[in-house]
């Protein structure tokens, strides 16, 4: 029997990528048990969305079809939705619009098979959901409400349109997991009558189908919406982030001995006499990388990057490993973290704390004065970190702080050497075209009671640059080593940008007088099938942008041009949006933004599962053992890890925006200076100058006249006076309200006081 990929390839080679079951039985000579196996395989591939069964026994390869698409459903709060396709469809451009009557068949995030009903001349398509391939929500977090028709849970996520009905007797969980954190009223809740308005987590027992309501049972009571810490709990459950370690994982972690056996040390390189240090943020709780730099007699630099040997403690297939793969990554919120590994490992045995022996996997590089690697070695080792340094202290040492330079007198020369090498490595990346966005990140500030006190821009200095450059160099060296040996591995890839997104950015950049310098973008004609109102089909040709001749150098040059300019923040943000998301893959496709042909993630195995897998693959090679993981296994791990990364990033971003909104509630009515950072048909978004927050000014609130959005120039223009609002304009706004549902700030424009002019007296 053929493997999945081979069976799909076989059908793809047939005319129109179509085949019937009888045809495949004949061509593959499938008889008896093989015939039944083929039937099961076709059904499974159809269930996964790889094949479409157009009618009984007739199959077409989904990615080759222009009539169907498979992807993730993104539902809008107004009821309509879009399907974000897994693979490009030559007949359409962008996502497939799903009207509300069809969108209500599924939930936001579900993986669906959609039929493309029609496509417009611009490539925009409309379709309908044919089948739900994978449900995104087994649980839903929301507000418990008591109504005359029964008890319901209103999902916190406004993109989930269906309320969840709670049958009688399933309102109160048998075991209340969060009883210690829940407010007093919640603790005393003996039945549903006490729960109105509380936030609960619900397990879905029946999904909404054929006009029937979804039904579920309450499995957790979290408390009231404004209770301290409930916001984090809501976001964790909304994004389905695993947050409680199973008992067997905790038991295994606690059973790991702290002492390192002598026989383990004998097989490792001993780096304990080196003055190795970790450099992290002030609030960091786990330290998985340590560095050391020296200058060799020939003038070259020796760089050691030591990474915690997590693979020594986490064995494949163990309870800890299974849970780590499920989580995929650690999730970092402003006031807490959800770690990938139990704290016994993440903050203790695998954390490179000072003055204790720790096992590592090390990349030792020799670099010349241009930053080129002229020699490299990888080995297992043991270190004893000298100091737990912070970015702030290293920066102050390099800036000449006398007290810190005296305190770390034996290390100041090495820190200066680190700066020297980091700048060399940075210049090397610039020469090859690597992009370097230096966008500020929000820093949420708290008092000693955990209450939010402010929002500022997270500081960045030369110490951040040192660690970034050293980690990039180690990641690239490990990736190159594994690829040169032809070993199956996981790569961190960043693909070429989508032509249409590049075109959209070029239009906006031109309004500021800039360009990526790529010239005209070639287009290609596509023949598509479209349906008439009577259901019949007809063929139509459309023109869409095709591949573009662009490299990271185009972006790099523009980044340098706008550096220090008022429009730098806006254009940098829009440039990022024109790029694809980086992801993990077993297939090395290079890293566009870094201008790197081979790149991976090796330096954070405490908090990223792909890094742990790369450690295992490298250690297998160092031990002279054959590859343990197949390409298919690595493909599955890569896909799951990419999904986990996106999920955690969305959760982190949502909570930060929620924290910002809650902080601004007390400032309703105040006026602020701001910068227009984007425009749309419904208004423009403003980022406040003094606070690192943003909000919207809706177009219907603009004073004096009617305004319209002009898509070609991305401007909002008045009909009578032709007054314009453009990206980059500075405006003064007043905070009118905080949208409690969307957690967004709503502003209105503040007009300057009109000039008072003295009326001239009449002569008569």
Among all chains, which residue has been given the structure tokens 């009326």?
759
Compute φ and ψ for 33, nearest 5 degrees: -65, -35
Tens-digit pLDDT profile for residues 373-386: 999 999 999 999 99
The mean pLDDT value for 676-682 works out to: 89
Q: Is 486 exposed, middle or buried (0-12, 13-18, 19+ CB in 10 A)?
A: exposed
Could you tell me the fold of the domain covering 66-134?
OB fold (Dihydrolipoamide Acetyltransferase, E2P) (2.40.50)
Query: How far is residue 110's CA from residue 130's CA, in Å, rounded to a whole number?
Result: 12
Q: Would you state the pLDDT for residue 175?
A: 54
Could you tell me the two tokens for 527?
């023949």
Lowest-pLDDT range, 13-17, 194-198, 273-277? 13-17
Could you tell me the two tokens for 510?
């031109």
Q: Closest by alpha carbon to 235, among 554, 550, 651, 592?
A: 651
Q: Which helix (H) or strand (E) holds 145?
A: strand 139-147
Q: Is the pLDDT of residue 500 over 70?
A: yes
The mean pLDDT value for 283-303 works out to: 94
Q: Is 705 exposed, middle or buried (0-12, 13-18, 19+ CB in 10 A)?
A: exposed
The DSSP annotation for 487-522 comes to: ----EEEBPPPPHHHHHHHHHHHHHTT---S--PPP
Q: Would you state the pLDDT for residue 535?
A: 53
Please give the model's pTM, rounded to 2 decimal places: 0.86
Q: Is the pLDDT of residue 530 over 60?
A: no
3-state secondary structure 341-386: CCHHHHHHHCCCCECCEEEEEEEEEEECCCCCEEEEEEEEEEEEEC
| Sheet with strand 58-61: strands edge to edge | 18-20, 58-61, 51-55
Could you tell me the two tokens for 237?
């459950």
Q: Considering only the top CATH level, what class is 139-238?
A: mainly beta
Tell me the sheet residues that pair with 530.
Answer: 538
Query: How far is residue 259's CA from residue 113's CA, in Å, rounded to a whole number?
Result: 53
Cα torsion angle, 388, 599, 271, 291, sign:
negative
Query: How far is residue 96's CA from residue 112's CA, in Å, rounded to a whole number?
Result: 12
The DSSP annotation for 207-248 comes to: ---TTPPEEEEEEEEEE-TTSTTHHHHHHHHHTT---S--HH
Task: Give exposure, 539-554, as e/b (b: 16+ Cβ within 10 Å).
Answer: eeebebbeebebebbb
Query: How far is residue 203's CA from residue 218's CA, in Å, rounded to a whole number?
Result: 6
Q: Would you state the pLDDT for residue 302?
A: 98
Q: Would you state the pLDDT for residue 179?
A: 41
| Residue 177, C-beta contacts closer than 8 angstroms, at least 6 positions apart | 220, 244
- The one-character DSSP state at 650 is H
Q: Is the pLDDT of residue 450 over 90?
A: no
Band of pLDDT at residue 652, cut at 50, 70 and 90: very high
Q: Would you state the pLDDT for residue 523?
A: 60
Q: Would you state the pLDDT for residue 185?
A: 43
Q: Is the pLDDT of residue 359 over 80?
A: yes
Could you tell me the two tokens for 721?
């006076």
Lowest-pLDDT range, 164-168, 406-410, 434-438, 464-468? 434-438
Q: Which residue has the higher pLDDT, 747 or 149?
A: 747
Q: Would you state the pLDDT for residue 360?
A: 98
Q: Would you state the pLDDT for residue 95?
A: 86
Could you tell me the two tokens for 235?
């976001």
Tens-digit pLDDT profile for residues 106-131: 999 998 888 888 877 666 788 899 88
Contact 583, 493 (CB under 8 A): yes
Q: Closest by alpha carbon to 542, among 518, 560, 524?
A: 524
Q: CA Rg, the chain, in Å?
A: 29
Query: How far is residue 405's CA from residue 393's CA, in Å, rounded to a whole number?
Result: 10
Query: How far is residue 85's CA from residue 490's CA, in Å, rounded to a whole number?
Result: 23
Band of pLDDT at residue 525, cut at 50, 70 and 90: low
| Residue 576, C-beta contacts closer than 8 angstroms, at least 6 positions apart | 437, 439
Query: How far is residue 417's CA from residue 304's CA, in Å, rounded to a whole number?
Result: 13
Query: How far is residue 374's CA from residue 298's CA, in Å, rounded to a whole number?
Result: 12
Among all chains, which residue has been given the structure tokens 């980044």?
559
Q: Closest by alpha carbon to 728, among 558, 563, 504, 571?
A: 571
Rounded to the nearest 10 degrees, what angle do helices 391-398 and 412-432 cross at?
100
Query: How far is residue 61's CA from residue 288's CA, in Å, rounded to a whole number?
Result: 44
Q: Which helix (H) or strand (E) holds 292?
A: strand 289-295
3-state secondary structure 718-736: ECCCCCEECCCCEEEEEEE
Q: Which residue has the higher pLDDT, 286 or 338?
A: 338
Q: Would you state the pLDDT for residue 417?
A: 98
Tens-digit pLDDT profile for residues 555-575: 999 999 988 887 888 888 889
Query: How far is residue 281's CA from residue 537's CA, in Å, rounded to a whole number?
Result: 61
Band of pLDDT at residue 452, cut at 50, 70 and 90: confident
Contact 260, 360 (CB under 8 A): no
Q: Considering only the top CATH level, what class is 668-749?
A: mainly beta
Tell me the sheet residues that pair with 514.
Answer: none
In total, the chain counts a number of residues equal to 764
Q: Is the pLDDT of residue 187 over 70?
A: no
**Mean per-residue pLDDT of the chain:** 87
Query: How far is residue 67's CA from residue 46's CA, in Å, rounded to a whole number?
Result: 15
Q: Closest by alpha carbon to 137, among 172, 179, 175, 106?
A: 106
| Residue 557, C-beta contacts closer than 8 angstroms, at least 6 positions apart | 517
Q: Would you state the pLDDT for residue 90?
A: 64
Q: Would you state the pLDDT for residue 757?
A: 46
Lowest-pLDDT range, 47-51, 70-74, 223-227, 280-284? 47-51
Query: How far is residue 647's CA from residue 241's CA, in Å, rounded to a whole number?
Result: 8
Collapse the DSSP code of 640 into the 3-class scheme (helix H, G, I; strand E, B; otherwise coil) and give the result. Answer: helix
Q: Closest by alpha carbon to 733, among 709, 704, 698?
A: 698
Q: What percent of the chain shows pLDDT beyond 70?
A: 90
């Amino acid at each position: 029997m053929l493997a999945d990929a081979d069976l799909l390839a076989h059908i793809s080679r047939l005319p129109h990528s179509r085949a019937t079951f009888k045809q495949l039985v004949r061509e593959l000579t499938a008889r008896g048990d093989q015939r039944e196996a083929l039937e099961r395989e076709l059904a499974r591939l159809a269930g996964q969305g790889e094949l479409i069964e157009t009618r009984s026994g007739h199959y077409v390869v989904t990615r080759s079809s222009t009539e169907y698409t498979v992807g993730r459903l993104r539902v809008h709060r107004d009821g309509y939705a879009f399907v974000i396709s897994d693979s490009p469809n030559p007949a359409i451009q962008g996502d497939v619009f799903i009207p509300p009557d069809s969108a209500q068949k599924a939930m936001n995030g579900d993986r669906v098979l959609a039929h493309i009903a029609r496509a417009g001349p611009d490539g925009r398509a409309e379709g309908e959901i044919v089948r739900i391939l994978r449900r995104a929500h087994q649980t839903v977090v929301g507000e418990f409400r008591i109504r005359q028709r029964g008890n319901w849970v209103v999902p916190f996520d406004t993109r989930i349109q269906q309320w969840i009905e709670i049958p009688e007797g399933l309102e109160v969980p048998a075991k209340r997991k969060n009883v210690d954190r829940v407010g007093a009223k919640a603790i005393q809740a003996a039945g549903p009558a006490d729960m109105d308005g509380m936030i609960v987590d619900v397990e879905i027992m029946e999904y909404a189908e054929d006009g029937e309501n979804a039904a579920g049972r309450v499995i957790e009571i979290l408390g009231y919406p404004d209770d301290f810490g409930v916001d984090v709990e809501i976001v964790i459950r909304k994004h389905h982030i695993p947050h409680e370690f199973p008992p067997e994982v905790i038991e295994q972690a606690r059973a790991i001995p702290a002492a390192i056996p002598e026989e383990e040390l004998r097989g490792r390189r001993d780096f304990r006499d080196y003055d190795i240090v970790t450099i992290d943020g002030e609030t960091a709780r786990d330290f998985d990388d340590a560095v050391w730099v020296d200058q060799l007699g020939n003038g070259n630099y020796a760089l050691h990057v030591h990474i915690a040997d997590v693979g020594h403690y986490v064995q494949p297939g163990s309870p800890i490993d299974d849970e780590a793969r499920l989580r995929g990554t650690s999730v970092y919120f402003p006031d807490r973290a959800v770690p990938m590994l139990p704290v016994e490992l993440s903050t203790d045995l695998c954390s490179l704390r000072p003055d204790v022996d720790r096992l590592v996997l090390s990349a030792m590089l020799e670099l010349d004065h241009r930053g080129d690697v002229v020699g490299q070695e990888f080995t297992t080792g043991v270190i004893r970190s000298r100091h737990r340094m912070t970015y702030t202290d290293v920066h102050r040492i390099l800036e000449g702080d006398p007290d810190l330079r005296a305190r770390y007198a034996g290390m100041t020369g090495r820190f200066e050497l680190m700066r020297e090498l980091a700048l060399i490595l940075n210049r090397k990346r610039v020469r090859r075209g690597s992009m370097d966005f230096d966008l500020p990140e929000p820093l949420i500030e708290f008092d000693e009671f955990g209450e939010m006190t402010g929002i500022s821009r997270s500081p960045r200095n030369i110490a951040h640059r040192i660690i970034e450059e050293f980690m990039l160099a180690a990641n690239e060296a490990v990736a190159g080593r594994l690829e040169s040996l032809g070993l199956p591995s996981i790569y961190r890839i960043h693909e070429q940008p989508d032509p249409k997104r590049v075109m959209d950015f070029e239009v906006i950049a031109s309004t500021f007088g800039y360009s990526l310098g790529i010239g005209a973008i070639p287009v290609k004609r596509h023949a598509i099938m479209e349906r008439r109102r009577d259901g019949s089909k007809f063929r139509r040709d459309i023109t869409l942008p095709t591949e573009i001749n662009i490299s990271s150098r185009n972006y790099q040059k523009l980044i340098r041009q706008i550096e220090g300019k008022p429009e730098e923040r806006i254009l940098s943000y829009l440039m990022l949006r024109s790029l694809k998301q980086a992801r993990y893959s077993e297939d090395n496709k290079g890293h566009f933004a870094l201008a790197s042909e081979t790149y991976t993630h090796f330096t954070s195995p405490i908090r990223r599962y792909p890094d742990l897998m790369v450690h295992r693959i490298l250690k297998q090679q160092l031990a002279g053992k054959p590859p343990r993981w197949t390409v298919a296994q690595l493909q599955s791990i890569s896909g799951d890890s990419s999904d986990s990364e996106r999920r955690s990033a969305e959760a982190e971003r949502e909570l930060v925006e929620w924290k910002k909104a809650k902080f601004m509630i007390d400032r309703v009515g105040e006026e602020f200076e701001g910068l227009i950072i984007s425009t749309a048909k419904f208004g423009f978004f403003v980022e406040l100058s003094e606070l690192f927050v943003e909000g919207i000014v809706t177009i219907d609130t603009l004073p004096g006249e009617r305004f319209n959005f002009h898509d070609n120039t991305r401007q909002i223009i008045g009909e009578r006076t032709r007054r314009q609002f453009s990206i980059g304009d500075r405006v003064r706004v007043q905070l009118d309200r905080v949208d409690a549902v969307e957690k967004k700030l709503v502003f209105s424009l503040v007009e300057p006081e009109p000039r008072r002019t003295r009326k001239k007296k009449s002569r008569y």
